[in-house]
Amino acid sequence: MATIKTYTDLAKIVPCCMGCRTPNDGTVVLAHRNLNGWGLRAGKGIKTIDMLGAFLCSRCHAVGDAMRRRDFQFWELAVHRSITWAFDQGYLVFQKKPAPEDAGQS
């Protein structure tokens, strides 16, 4: 069984590519969009945050990299599918932040 320490590690166990939805053939990685619509600079050597990445097979990763800004919908859908899968599987959880007066109490 794969050891999962980071969001990136989930690529080892995600059941399919979140772009084309084909079964994970071992080429699925957390792909980072080179240019994004969130105003974050990205490109060679500069990556967006992992939560804005998508679990893509090598074919979709290459297609996605070639798209640049032309098809934001491809990335948006793949990122949405990736986050939804991770949340549904329990790898992403929301925790209630303690109220300021409770923060120092044990």
User: What percent of the chain lies above the pLDDT cut of 70?
Assistant: 75
57 burial via Cβ count (<10 Å: 0-12, 13-18, 19+)? buried
Return the higher-pLDDT residue of 29 and 104: 29
At 96 the pLDDT is 83
At 88 the pLDDT is 96
Does pTM surpass 0.75? yes
Residue 6, C-beta contacts closer than 8 angstroms, at least 6 positions apart:
50
Q: Over 60: is that where the pLDDT of 26 sits?
A: yes
